[in-house]
Amino acid sequence: MTEQMTSGIELMFTGMGIVFLFLIMLVIAINIMSALVQRYFPDIPASKTVPGITADIDKSVVAAITAAVHQYRKKHN
Amino acid sequence: MTEQMTSGIELMFTGMGIVFLFLIMLVIAINIMSALVQRYFPDIPASKTVPGITADIDKSVVAAITAAVHQYRKKHN
Amino acid sequence: MTEQMTSGIELMFTGMGIVFLFLIMLVIAINIMSALVQRYFPDIPASKTVPGITADIDKSVVAAITAAVHQYRKKHN
Amino acid sequence: MENLISLWHSTGIYNFTGGQAFMMLVGFLLLFLAIKKGFEPLLLLPIGFGAILSNIPVAGIAEEGGILYYLYYGIKTGLFPLLIFMGVGAMTDFGPMLANPKTLLLGAAAQFGIFASLLGALALNAIPGLEFTLKDAAAIGIIGGADGPTAIYVASKLSPDLLGAIAVAAYSYMALVPLIQPPIMRALTTEDERKIEMQQLRVVGKTEKIVFPLMLLVICTLLLPSAAPLIGMFALGNLMNACGVVERLSQTAQNELINIVTIFLGLAVGSKLSAEAFLQVKTLGILALGAIAFSIGTAAGVIMAKIMNKFSSTPINPLIGAAGVSAVPMAARVVNKLGLESNPHNFLLMHAMGPNVAGVIGSAVAAGVLLSLVK
Amino acid sequence: MENLISLWHSTGIYNFTGGQAFMMLVGFLLLFLAIKKGFEPLLLLPIGFGAILSNIPVAGIAEEGGILYYLYYGIKTGLFPLLIFMGVGAMTDFGPMLANPKTLLLGAAAQFGIFASLLGALALNAIPGLEFTLKDAAAIGIIGGADGPTAIYVASKLSPDLLGAIAVAAYSYMALVPLIQPPIMRALTTEDERKIEMQQLRVVGKTEKIVFPLMLLVICTLLLPSAAPLIGMFALGNLMNACGVVERLSQTAQNELINIVTIFLGLAVGSKLSAEAFLQVKTLGILALGAIAFSIGTAAGVIMAKIMNKFSSTPINPLIGAAGVSAVPMAARVVNKLGLESNPHNFLLMHAMGPNVAGVIGSAVAAGVLLSLVK
Amino acid sequence: MENLISLWHSTGIYNFTGGQAFMMLVGFLLLFLAIKKGFEPLLLLPIGFGAILSNIPVAGIAEEGGILYYLYYGIKTGLFPLLIFMGVGAMTDFGPMLANPKTLLLGAAAQFGIFASLLGALALNAIPGLEFTLKDAAAIGIIGGADGPTAIYVASKLSPDLLGAIAVAAYSYMALVPLIQPPIMRALTTEDERKIEMQQLRVVGKTEKIVFPLMLLVICTLLLPSAAPLIGMFALGNLMNACGVVERLSQTAQNELINIVTIFLGLAVGSKLSAEAFLQVKTLGILALGAIAFSIGTAAGVIMAKIMNKFSSTPINPLIGAAGVSAVPMAARVVNKLGLESNPHNFLLMHAMGPNVAGVIGSAVAAGVLLSLVK
Ligand code: NA
Ligand code: NA
Ligand code: NA
């Protein structure tokens, strides 16, 4: 086996080792962090859309608005 | 006539010649391409707006939406 | 007092002098300009929003549209 | 006291040269034309402002270390005009042209303005004190292409010192198209000709629109690779729009990217409006030749359309030849207006859009010829 | 094995210096202030992140070849702060100021903070170990201008090593305006003064708004061309917005362009927050002087307003003088809040916007003075 | 006449080399795949177009003075891939991963494809005429990361000559994920395993999402600072989005900025598709190794998931291991599809998103290892 190949194999072991080490550390850190945050800084689950409002608009209205926005964009850009 | 002028005139003839040659080639190529495409790869005429939907919205609604979009943009930018 | 301090104090007087001189000139220029413009080039007060339209849309409609725009943006970006 | 004297010596009043003052007035004139007269405001406003900024004494905004100096690299490298061209490509619909490809020839004929004014520039060398090199003449001629980014691209390569005047002339005359073209168009056509109605154009499918920019690029590669930077970026923009699968890139190219580059390009062009470069008899020559270029281009387009009308199986309204100079979409609108004057049912806009966008290709081709032959 | 040792030698743990660790904590502190305390998050978040990135050992993100190194060119050339200033100009409405031009003087008075803290910096040289040059002192003083891009622009020209600390101080104190200003404003005014209602402002027409930025640029050119880069780009943005004919450019300048540049500028400023540059007694001096600058500027504005109220035919509420430091629009909001506390019908927001935007001009003028006199 | 000959000598027909013609065909093939087959069109369209432009004879678009030459600086400096990574970070939701952190290990296992194909490249040196250095092998291996910007970043640092082929392979195989992965996934799992339903994920709060990118950066700093440019810009984007206080910056990073950079990056990558660099046996090796890398990565992910399912208290469907290669979000969608095939009530999309985004981190870490150990 060539020297290059040897260093390649070594690289593979080191590399995969580091990748696993890194992500295992991350798993541990996440677990600790999540526990701490949920215990000491709990927050209301983030919900980006306001479902109440969105649900009220039926699809045809959304379609109409989408088209209007399209028109608006075309005119204004 | 100066030498410069001579080369200018020569440039004019060469230039217009190339321009025409180029665009004539393009006309020929378009004709061939259009024939081929319409024969072998016909597609439904592209229509970017959906007229049905757009037509349904009367102008005042569009105006209202445009204004709303304006407000939205101001707030969110 | 150090020489540096002296030049600092000098700088302060010159600086504040220039700042005031500049802005006083600007005040004078604005007064002249406004008088001239209002006399010779009067224009209808600029109003960027069209209050009539905006007022007609009640808040819930605006909210609905805002949500729709949001959806539209998410889909189209 | 020392400070005060040093400050006084650094005021604009103390340092102003007549040339700078004059060029700032030119800048204000451009702003006036842009804002009050609506002359191509998107470009002439930043150009005018750039002219003012670069002629402020002491500040050195267009000199090394100043912002306009750095922005000018975008022109020097060709980046800015080519990115604008990409954006324009993305905004261009080749549908009307593909529906009636022979109108491409009108976009060829109208380029005669370019070469005629090139000759004109050389002829002006007869006047003592004027000395245009062949490169200068070519850069001036390209004004007749009626296409801003092409003119800036060519001028930056062939004659950067004249860039300011050339860009100003190009955009000003594009804005003046509704004044320059109609008399020429009326003079060269009869009332009957202007009344000619044209057959409705077929709808061009998506596949043709996708294939076209690629075909254009191939022909350019084979015949005239020196035009490939311009034609290539134009075709890229057009393809991004036509293909429909990279909508977000196409939108950005047409909007934010072209807007950013427009501001930078305008300012950088303005930085070439220095007193030394602009306050020369040459500039008057450039302005005169630019007007001639537009006029001759218009005339050549109309005459070509008249000839084609003679030989064509379907009627061709000679007015649409005027749109061949490009100046998209103004020239096409002018055609439409004149058509409606003679015949209220004659909507020529779509028919004029074909030669109009063909004119963009035509002047890019002419630019390629000049870039490859003028050395 | 060799690999493992070589890897160990390339870990952060192995290479960390105390200074880097400390500066990363500073970065996290800035992120905390930005995200949790709402301190100017648009700038402090990228600055804080840039501080972290540039202090990561081994990675060399702020050294040649690293991304922050390249982004810093945008500050070195002045491009980034000037483009931000253009965007700010496009967002600024000079209407309230034009309706009551004498409030411009409040924007002049508040610049006293700049020169007072400049003197303060020189005075600190008495402390052994501290050594501020006149350039350093000027760069520190500009914190009192309460205007981020101006501070960064001046610091990058006069004292790039202090840039990080100066930018952080400037933006932090701008965020702290609601805490710093009220006690000073209350101390210097009586309850009756705070109750003063001001006359409603006239509506300013479009033409005046178009002419103003041009007039501003002309005066700057004549009196103080060294301020022309700042004032010029500000006026350009303002004109683009006011004229109404280049709406798409104005929108891009206010949104996408300023956003892109803000990210880049913040990161690049962060790259100057290295341990060697920041972990010095100087930094404490800068932070102290910054607070003094804001306080003195506020006081000077309020006192000026009191004086003007004495001599003015129409009543002037002294509180609006505090808005003269700029810190747009926070300072104006603080004024409004204090006005409402004393008199629930007293809406001072619009009246405070005049001095507020005047303060931006005022500090750009002060910047011009410093750039032209401090060598 | 001289002109005509000179023109003829400047045509593409006269100057075409076979290599250029072939590379233009490769460019057209990429356009075809992008437009008609929907292969990662956002990148492959500009790359394909860039390939065409850079192989146009005479024009020199990728040589000094040409636009692609200048755009390539954005890759050389690392700016473009890192900005894309920032944008991707802003678009990434770490919620599903934070809800089930052990799935991160799947994103680790799938990186085995990188190192396996690195070995493969070295093994190919046995074939006469092929000569991959360790740097080349590392750059090729990173294709297995299934992440475009990471591959481009690493290749530009380690083996710029292979950049074109590597980028094309990376994006092509990402587009081919729906073809490459399913057979491997089916072969390695039983029907019963594919039917496994997973517990619904808890909702992850905003604070955890804010803290995560910072934590990621800290761990990266401590363990592997050579990955910090990639991880750092990714974390910055993610933080800007998660924190909610710099919405306008986050939006710009996800939209206009990433779009602009994508166009530029694609064109610049295309400029590395020159005949000399691409028309080598090496390229075939790269394409073969890329496919192997994806396959092995997929297999490693699935096997890891099977092992974890054995030891886990809650059930883990082995299919989600395939998503560990990244190729966001295609790989997760493929998982979802296969899950539904075996069990119509089995929605694995969210469960697969965890390993999917973990795979992005995993390949950035692998990139850091390669950048720090391969010299
Ligand atoms: Na033209
Ligand atoms: Na200020
Ligand atoms: Na990956």
CB F177 within 8 A of CB F148: no
Q: What is the pLDDT of residues E176-210, one digit of tens each?
A: 999 999 999 999 999 999 999 998 888 999 999 99
Mean pLDDT by 10 residues, chain F (375 residues): 77 90 95 94 96 94 94 95 96 94 94 94 89 94 93 95 93 92 96 92 92 97 95 98 96 97 96 86 90 94 95 92 92 94 92 94 96 89
**pLDDT for res F279:** 86
Judged against a pLDDT cut of 70, whether residue C56 lies above it is answered with: no
State the ipTM, two decimals.
0.89
Average pLDDT, chain D: 93
Residue F373 Cα, gap to closest chain E Cα (Å): 7
CB spacing of E3 vs A18 below 8 angstroms: no
Split into its structural domains, chain C has a count of: 1
Comparing alpha-carbon positions, the chain E residue that sits nearest to C27 is: E101
Helix axes E281-311, E134-141, angle to 10 degrees: 60
For the entire predicted model, the pTM comes to 0.92
- Say if residue B57's pLDDT is above 80: no
Residues F177, F182, F187, F190, CA torsion sign: positive
Question: How far apart (Å, rounded) are the C-alpha atoms in residues D298 and D277?
Answer: 29
CA dist., res. F232 & res. F247, Å (int): 19
Residue E241 clears pLDDT 60, i.e. is over it:
yes
| A68 close to F (CB below 8 A) | no
Residue C67: per-residue pLDDT: 57
What is the C-alpha separation between D159 and D287, in angstroms, rounded?
16
Contact by Cβ (8 Å): D140, D117: yes
The angle at the Cα of F57, spanning F52 to F60, to the nearest 5 degrees, equals: 85
Average pLDDT over residues D92-121: 94
Distances (CA, A) of F4 to D99, D142, D230, F11, F269: 33, 20, 22, 10, 35
Give the residue numbers spanning the domain of A72. 2-76
DSSP result, D97-142? HHHSGGGHHHHHHTTHHHHHHHHHHHHHTTSTT----HHHHHHHHG
With bands split at pLDDT 50, 70 and 90, how would you rate the model's confidence at B69? low
Does residue D80 surpass a pLDDT of 60? yes
Q: Give me the domain span that covers residue D294.
A: 92-255+271-374
Is residue B49 predicted with pLDDT exceeding 50? Answer: no
Distances (CA, A) of E370 to A9, C14, D7, E226, E375: 62, 10, 11, 9, 9
Residue E5 is predicted with a pLDDT of 82
Separation CA D203–CA E222 (nearest Å): 59
Is the Cβ–Cβ distance between F71 and F264 less than 8 Å?
yes
Q: Given A12, A19, A43, which is nearest F108 (Cβ)?
A: A19
**Interface mutation vs chain F, best among D252, D261, D371, D375, most F CBs within 10 Å:** D252
Q: How far apart are CA F323 and CA F357, in angstroms?
A: 9
| Position E183 in a domain | yes
Q: Cα(first)–Cα(last) distance of chain C, in Å?
A: 64
Contact E316, E308 (CB under 8 A): yes
Question: How far is Cα E80 from Cα E69, in angstroms, rounded to an integer?
Answer: 14
A58 token code pair: 């039926």
pLDDT digits (tens, 9 = 90+) for C10-54: 999 999 999 999 999 999 999 999 999 999 988 754 444 443 333
| Closest CA–CA distance from residue B77 to any residue of chain F (Å) | 6
3-state DSSP helix/strand/coil percent for chain B, to nearest 5?
Answer: 80, 0, 20
What pLDDT score does A76 carry? 52
Render pLDDT for F124-158 as a digit per residue (tens, 0 to 9): 998 888 889 999 999 999 999 899 999 999 999 99
The encoded tokens of residue F179 equal 């073809």
Q: Which two three-digit tokens encode residue E96?
A: 């309230």
Predicted local distance difference test score (pLDDT) of residue B53: 38
Distance from CA of B45 to the nearest CA of C (A): 23
Please check whether residue F12 lies inside any domain of the structure.
no
Our count of domains for chain E comes to: 1
Give the residue among A63, E206, E242 at the shortest CA–CA distance from B61: A63
Q: Which residue in the set B18, B76, B77 is minimally distant from F7, CB to CB?
A: B18
Give the distance between the most distant pair of CA atoms in chain A: 70
For F156, the token pair is 């530009």
Judged by a CB distance cut-off of 8 A, whether residue C62 touches chain A is: no
Distances (CA, A) of E257 to E10, E57, E80, E237, E238: 38, 32, 10, 12, 15
Q: Indicate if the pLDDT at residue E85 is higher than 80.
A: yes
Give pLDDT, residue E271.
92
pLDDT at B55: 38
Q: Which residue of D has its CA nearest to F55?
A: D221
CA dihedral F22, F26, F32, F35 (to 10 degrees): -140
Residue E164 CB partners (closer than 8 Å, separation 6+): E51, E269, E270, E271, E272, E273, E274, E277, E278
* Partner residue opposite B16 with nearest CB, options D112, D134, D220: D112
Contact E106, E290 (CB under 8 A): no
N residues, chain A: 77
Question: Tokens standing for C71?
Answer: 């959806």
DSSP E102-127: GGHHHHHHTTHHHHHHHHHHHHHTTS
Q: What is the mean pLDDT of chain B?
A: 73
Residue E279: pLDDT band with limits 50, 70, 90: confident
